[in-house]
């Protein structure tokens, strides 16, 4: 975490969020999942109190987040007590890619409905030169996002570049806000950001369309 924060300071960021994947439901029971998330919450709180506040640098806050798999039936594999530890959550698809368009849309909207969930991460679930994106009813997804103040991620990982530029343009046209994420699993992953910016530009998005171009206070207000 400290290495990531140091890198973010080099990039002059005001804030960042740690959004690793949820603990595996197949390898942990509910009590263990909640315990892991509570310990992470404590670690983030210590960072914000003893390091971020006192270190010289641009970072003013670290958010405690999580990227949560949407189960095929639309549920989230994190107990409510675990979700309560988070500042906000992302949802994503990492399995059962071949569901029908209607079933996949229902799955996403069900996962998106939880009040802690704010962002749909790499929304088509595509991997370039490896896997096609899932089938979704995009007008329905965009309408839900607009009405419920939910955001779609532009994932800047060169293997994803997801939301694709064509759907970025549709989202902007629909008045849906976007987030920019690097999908960094290491400090050097933060250098992915220019790839995401290029996707946003090709989709005619401006800074006004990207929530994490905002200053910290405005971003926190948008979270709530």
pLDDT single digits (tens) 76-95: 999 999 999 999 999 999 99
Q: Can you give the residue ranges of every domain in the chain? A: 2-223
Residue 53 has pLDDT above 80, yes or no: no
Fold of the CATH domain 2-223? TIM Barrel (3.20.20)
Output the 3-class SS for the chain.
CHHHHHHHHHCCCCEEEECCECCCCCCCCHHHHHHHHHHHHHHHHHHHHHHHCCCCCCCCEEEECCEEECCCCCCCCCCHHHHCCCCCEEEECCCCCCCCHHHHHHHHHHHHCCCCEEEECCCCCCECCCECCCCCCHHHHHHHHHHHCCEEEEECCCCCCECCHHHHHHHHHHCCCEEEECCCCCHHHHHHHHHHHHHHHHCCCCHHHEHHHCCHHHHHHHHC
pLDDT the model gives residue 109: 98
Residue 54 has pLDDT above 80, yes or no: no
Average pLDDT over the chain reads 96
pLDDT single digits (tens) 8-29: 999 999 999 999 999 987 788 9
Percentage of the chain modeled with pLDDT above 90? 94
Average pLDDT, integer, range 85-112? 97
Residue 52 has pLDDT above 80, yes or no: no
């Amino acid at each position: 975490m400290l290495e990531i924060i140091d890198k973010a300071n080099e990039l002059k960021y005001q804030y960042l969020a740690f959004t690793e994947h949820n603990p595996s439901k197949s390898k942990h029971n509910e009590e263990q999942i909640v315990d892991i998330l509570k310990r992470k919450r404590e670690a983030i709180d210590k960072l914000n109190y003893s390091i971020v506040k006192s270190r010289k640098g641009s970072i003013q806050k670290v958010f405690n987040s999580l990227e949560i798999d949407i189960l095929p039936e639309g549920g989230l594999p994190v107990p409510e007590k675990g979700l309560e530890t988070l500042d906000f959550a992302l949802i994503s698809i990492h399995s059962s890619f071949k569901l029908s368009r209607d079933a996949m849309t229902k799955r996403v909207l069900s996962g998106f409905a939880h009040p802690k969930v704010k962002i749909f991460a790499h929304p088509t679930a595509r991997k370039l030169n490896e896997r096609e994106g899932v089938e979704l009813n995009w007008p329905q997804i965009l309408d839900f996002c607009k009405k419920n103040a939910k955001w779609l991620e532009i994932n800047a990982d060169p293997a994803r570049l997801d939301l694709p530029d064509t759907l970025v343009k549709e989202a902007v046209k629909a008045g849906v806000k976007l987030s920019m994420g690097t999908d960094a699993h290491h400090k050097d992953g933060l250098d992915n950001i220019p790839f995401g910016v290029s996707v946003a530009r090709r989709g005619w998005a401006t800074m006004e369309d990207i929530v994490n171009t905002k200053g910290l206070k405005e971003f926190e207000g948008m979270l709530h």
